[in-house]
């Protein structure tokens, strides 16, 4: 009789054993399928988060590392002034030439004092006050103007989001490199009767440097409506955009090659290129002991951190269930084969080949496995969703508890971060709603793994019996 036909007859004759194998296979396939589906969710969530956070990567000061360096300097030389490290445009240009970069912008911020014109006053009591300093710091006046240097103003957050709009003249562009030009706010221009083509002077708060810039545009800021801030330089009307070269005199590192900047923002062609771009950046001579490439990493981690932890747990579920399931199935099949020792011995003694006997046992197991596999395609979706929701909620709870733990965030806030906004001022909610659907990709993976489990759990115990001669098998059965 054909060994395949014998296998089908055996499955029908041994309904109890077949039912036990079916139940074990069904549990294993459902859990493994859920594990694969949850890992797929992690990849989808990662893509979603990257697209939501944007394709920009910022080269800027690593505030935590700088804070540690500053604390060490204060311990060793308490009276020495701490200088904030800056990046040279010469170094930043190396990354801008990357094939991953679609566009880029440089930003440098500072504070100053209006020279020959009157800033928008916000508090009558706010005037010239002395600022306390160290030995190297002379008395400074309270700044009343905030300055933002940019390579291209069109790429700055205020203009891209529409809270600031140029109403006269033009914005600063890359073609203004080497020029000393500026954009001033509408209210400041009207109060001082300034127009495009006029020149204004801004003095550094220590009085040692003064810059003179030509007004090439006037912008209107929607944030000027509403309560006034308590300090003049925080008023949006007292913000002046200037070309990067205009601020070089205000820098502590003005002698460096190129122009000193606070940060460089690179806009990539595709979010999937972020990791490759970061890896390429690490190969340059930029000092990554003080600077870092940041693709909104903290916000990204907050959004997908719980899902990535869930995916890591699902990976262990796949390993654990696969190994445990194989062992349980192997033990069940081994006990079954021992019960059928006489049958196998007789078949071998009448000339049946060992390969066909192993084939018969394998077909019997595969018949049951295919039924369980087919059913799991329909039940796997519900099981995956239930497991995914449960694991994700646990990870979100753990993440919130960790976030609420005081003292987790530290670091130095740069002038650019304070004026232009940064991830420190933004907040995102973790992704707490996932669709753990089963796709053909997961089904294919499950099919491959299920076949491997069925083969291993059948062949290994079968070989332990069929390695013997027919006479030895029949004698052991007596």
Q: Are 37 and 376 in contact (CB under 8 A)?
A: no
Which value, to the nearest 10 degrees, does the dihedral of the CA atoms of residues 134, 136, 138, 142 take? -60
Tokens 């925080």 belong to which residue?
A: 234
Q: Give the H or E element holding residue 57.
A: strand 56-61
Q: What is the pLDDT of residue 152?
A: 94
Residue 127 confidence (pLDDT)? 46
Neighbours of 344 (CB within 10 A): 25
Q: Is 386 left (phi over 0), alpha (psi -120 to 50) or beta?
A: alpha
Give the per-residue SS3 of 147-195: EEEECCHHHCHHHHHCCEEEEEECCCCHHHCCCCEEEEEHHHHHHHCCC
Give the pLDDT mean for 129-140. 50
Mean pLDDT across 330-345: 80
- Average pLDDT over the chain, rounded to whole? 81
Query: pLDDT of 195-242, one tens digit each?
Result: 999 999 999 887 788 899 999 999 998 876 666 777 888 888 899 999
Residue bearing tokens 């957050």: 157
193-202, 303-312, 409-418: lowest mean pLDDT where? 409-418
Higher pLDDT, 194 or 338: 194
pLDDT value for 411: 54
CA–CA distance, 24 with 321 (Å, rounded to integer): 11
Residue 410, burial from CB neighbour count under 10 angstroms (0-12, 13-18, 19+): exposed
Lowest-confidence segment of 109-123, 264-278, 397-411, 438-452 by average pLDDT: 397-411
pLDDT for 425 beyond 80: no
User: 138 or 382: whose pLDDT is higher?
Assistant: 382
Looking at residue 429, its pLDDT comes to: 72
CA–CA gap between residue 454 and residue 28 (Å, rounded): 11
Per-residue model confidence (pLDDT) at position 424: 57
pLDDT at 415: 60
56: closest CA among 262, 302, 263?
A: 263
CA distance 441 to 447: 10
What secondary structure letter does DSSP report for 425? G
The answer to whether 194 and 117 are in contact (CB under 8 A) is: yes
pLDDT interval class at 133 (50, 70, 90): very low
What's the confidence (pLDDT) of residue 224?
A: 64
pLDDT exceeds 80 at position 414: no
**Strand spans (E) along 382-442:** none
Query: For the chain, what percent of residues have pLDDT higher than 90?
Result: 20
What is the pLDDT, as a whole number, of residue 139?
Answer: 61
Q: How confident is the model at residue 412 (pLDDT cuts 50, 70, 90)?
A: low
**pLDDT at res. 105:** 94
Give 175's pLDDT tier (boundaries 50, 70, 90).
Answer: very high
Provide the pLDDT for residue 134: 45
Nearest to 177 by CA among 276, 231, 229, 248: 248
Asked if residue 325 has pLDDT above 50, the reply is: yes
Q: Which long-range contacts (CB under 8 A, 24 or more apart) does 29-32 make?
A: 29/372, 29/373, 29/376, 29/380, 29/446, 29/450, 30/376, 30/379, 30/380, 30/383, 31/317, 31/321, 31/383, 32/317, 32/318, 32/321, 32/322, 32/325, 32/446, 32/449, 32/450
Confidence of residue 132 (pLDDT cuts 50, 70, 90): very low
CA distance 261 to 264: 7
**Where is pLDDT greater, at 401 or 288?**
288
Position 188 pLDDT exceeds 70: yes
Rounded Cα gap, residues 363 and 372, in angstroms: 14
Q: pLDDT value at position 413?
A: 59
pLDDT digits 0-9 by tens, 147-163: 999 999 999 988 988 88
Q: What is the pLDDT of residues 63-114, one digit of tens each?
A: 888 888 888 878 887 777 777 888 999 889 989 999 999 999 999 998 999 9
pLDDT at 451 over 90: no
Answer yes or no: is pLDDT of 354 > 60: yes
pLDDT on residue 106: 94
pLDDT value at residue 101:
92
pLDDT for res 242? 94
173 confidence band (pLDDT: 50, 70, 90): very high
pLDDT at 347 (0 to 100)? 81
- Name the residue ranges covered by the structural domains of the chain: 3-51+302-401+430-475, 55-124+139-295
Do the bridges between strand 239-243 and strand 145-150 make them parallel or antiparallel, or are there none, so unpaired? parallel
Of 34-43, 151-160, 173-182, 206-215, which range is least confident? Answer: 34-43
| Interacting residues of 330 by C-beta distance below 8 A, sequence separation 6+ | 456, 457, 460, 461
Mean pLDDT of 287-295: 87
User: Region 401-428: what's the mean pLDDT?
Assistant: 60
Return the minimum-mean-pLDDT range out of 184-188, 190-194, 247-251, 299-303. 299-303
Rounded Cα gap, residues 138 and 81, in angstroms: 11
């Amino acid at each position: 009789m054909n060994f395949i036909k014998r296998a089908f007859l055996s499955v029908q004759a041994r309904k109890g054993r077949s039912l036990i194998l079916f139940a074990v296979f069904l549990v294993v396939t459902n859990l493994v399928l859920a594990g694969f589906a949850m890992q797929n969710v992690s990849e989808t969530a990662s893509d979603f988060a990257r697209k939501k956070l944007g394709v920009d990567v910022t080269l800027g000061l690593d505030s935590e590392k700088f804070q540690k360096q500053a604390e060490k300097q204060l311990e060793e030389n308490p009276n020495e002034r701490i200088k904030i490290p800056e990046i040279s445009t010469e170094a930043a240009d190396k990354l801008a030439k990357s094939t991953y970069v679609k566009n880029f912008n440089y930003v440098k911020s500072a504070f100053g004092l209006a020279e020959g014109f009157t800033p928008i006053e916000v508090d009558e009591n706010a005037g010239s006050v002395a600022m306390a300093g160290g030995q190297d710091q002379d008395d400074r006046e309270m700044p009343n103007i905030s300055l933002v240097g940019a390579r291209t103003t069109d790429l700055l957050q205020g203009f891209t989001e529409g809270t600031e709009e140029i109403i006269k003249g033009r914005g600063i562009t890359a073609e203004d490199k080497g020029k000393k030009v500026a954009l001033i706010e509408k209210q400041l221009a009207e109060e001082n009767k300034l127009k495009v083509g006029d020149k204004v002077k801004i003095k550094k708060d220590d009085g040692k440097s003064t810059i003179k810039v030509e007004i090439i545009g006037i912008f209107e800021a929607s944030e000027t409506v509403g309560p006034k801030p308590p300090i003049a330089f925080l008023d949006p009307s007292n913000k002046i955009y200037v070309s990067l070269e205009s601020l070089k005199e205000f820098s502590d590192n003005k002698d460096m090659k190129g122009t000193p900047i606070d940060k460089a923002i690179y806009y990539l062609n595709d979010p999937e290129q972020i990791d490759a771009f970061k890896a390429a950046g690490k190969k340059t001579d930029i000092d990554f002991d003080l600077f870092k490439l940041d693709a909104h990493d903290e916000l990204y981690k907050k959004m997908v951190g719980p899902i990535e932890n869930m995916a890591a747990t699902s990976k262990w579920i796949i390993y654990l269930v696969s190994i445990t399931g194989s062992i349980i199935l192997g033990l069940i099949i081994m006990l079954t084969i021992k019960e059928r020792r006489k049958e196998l011995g007789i078949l071998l003694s009448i000339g049946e080949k060992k390969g066909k006997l192993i084939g018969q046992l394998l077909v019997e197991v595969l018949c049951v496995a295919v039924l369980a596999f087919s059913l799991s395609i329909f039940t796997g979706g519900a099981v995956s969703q239930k497991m995914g929701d449960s694991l994700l909620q646990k990870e979100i709870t753990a993440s919130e508890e960790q976030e609420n733990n005081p003292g987790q965030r530290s670091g130095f806030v740069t002038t650019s971060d304070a004026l232009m906004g940064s991830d420190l001022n933004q907040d995102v909610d973790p992704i707490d709603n996932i669709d753990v659907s089963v796709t053909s990709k997961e089904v294919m993976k499950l099919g491959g793994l299920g076949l491997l489990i069925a083969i291993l759990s059948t062949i290994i115990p079968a070989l332990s019996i069929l390695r013997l001669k027919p006479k030895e098998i029949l004698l052991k059965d007596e």
